[in-house]
Amino acid sequence: MPELPEVETVVRTLEALITGCSFNDVHIHTPSIINHNESFVSLVINRPLQSFKRRGKYILLGLDESTLVIHLRMEGRFFINHEFSRPNKHVHVSFKLNDGRVLHYQDTRKFGRMLITQDVNHTLSHLGLEFDDPHFTVEYLFGALKNKKTTLKAFLLSQSIICGLGNIYTDEVCFRARLHPEKNVGTLTMNEVKAIHREIKLVLSEAIALGGSSIRTYTNAMGIDGLFQLQLQVHMRAKQPCIACGHLIEKTSVANRGTYICKHCQKR
DNA sequence: CGCATTCCCTGGGTGC
DNA sequence: TGCACCCAGGGAATGC
């Protein structure tokens, strides 16, 4: 399940592999993957790939005049071969590169989406700040939280104030800040908000440095595995001892998501 | 408007 | 071995 660090790794991998290329042709095997696809092909074909960026969990491939925006959701991934024919039933879009290679988009559950836009800022206007944006300060976060009534977990997953966190890193941020994910964000103290702010920045930057996490069914682009799963302190550690106090980690459900907590370290 | 819930989708796991 | 059922989850759509 790619979150910000995994998407960043995919973007860097794509940049290393297809910089300077363009797409000669596109096969859309599963039209529902693409939003507004009437102009999709004409805006994608024969346009040089000029930039490789990320915004939240979205991949932004800068083409001549427009941007190809891709969200991998749960199991979306890319791989390259030399066959333009559909490799298997889970490949939904195949991009023929001008050097003969083919970039395939595979997504078992068809949750991923891609679209072409000429106004990325408008398309992604629902997203909050990046974790490394200079405007993402403790004061900004405290101000955004003080009037909200939702839980810490739901807030961190919402993308609206700070974007890029998914289920894995939300659990890690809550644990490392020693805060219960069901805590109401409107009641957090300045010191608690400081801890959340600090841990968001630390967890995401550490995970990017290790190439993201590879857990469950997800491995990164082109079979490159991240290593951050080895650094996870609570996520996927049900019934194992807390690294801080030794109590057993519990798995529960918060905001309709599987959630791992040390109930001794993370008080409501 | 703000927050909560439902839905999409498939393979893997479980129970009988 | 086969079959029915449930679970995983990001974000859009829907509900209250």
Domain boundaries, chain A: 4-123, 138-261
CB atoms within 10 A of CB A109: 11
User: Which three-class secondary structure state does DSSP give residue A25?
Assistant: strand
A220: confidence class by pLDDT, cuts 50, 70, 90 = very low
What is the residue-averaged pLDDT of chain A?
90
Domain A4-123 shares a fold with domain A138-261: no
Most confident of A6-15, A90-99, A211-220: A90-99
User: Which numeric CATH code is attached to A4-123?
Assistant: 3.20.190.10
CA–C1' span, A112 to B7, in Å? 15
Tokens describing residue A255: 């905001």
A138-145 vs A190-209: helix axis angle to the nearest 10?
A: 120
Is residue A57 part of the annotated active site? The answer reads yes
Question: What are the tens digits of pLDDT across the range A49-66?
Answer: 999 999 999 999 999 889
Nucleotide with the nearest C1' to A126 CA: C11
CB A230 within 8 A of CB A253: no
Among the four given CATH numbers 2.60.40.10, 1.10.8.50, 2.40.30.10, 3.90.120.10, the one describing domain A138-261: 1.10.8.50
Q: Cα separation of A175 and A168, whole Å?
A: 11
Q: Cα separation of A169 and A150, whole Å?
A: 18
CA–C1' span, A118 to B2, in Å? 31
Q: In terms of pLDDT, which residue wins out, A213 or A202?
A: A202
CB A155 within 8 A of CB A145: yes
Nucleotide with the nearest C1' to A155 CA: B3
Catalytic choice (A55, A57, A77, A153): A57
Backbone angles phi, psi at A41, to 5 degrees: -65, -45
Residue partners of A263: CB distance under 8 A and separation at least 6:
A180, A247, A250
Amino acid (one-letter) located at A196: I
Q: Cα separation of A250 and A211, whole Å?
A: 27
| Cα A7 to the center of its chain, rounded Å | 5
Specify the pTM.
0.94
pLDDT at A1 over 70: no
What pLDDT is stored for residue A3 in this prediction? Answer: 84
User: Which three-class secondary structure state does DSSP give residue A251?
Assistant: strand
CA–C1' span, A256 to B9, in Å? 17
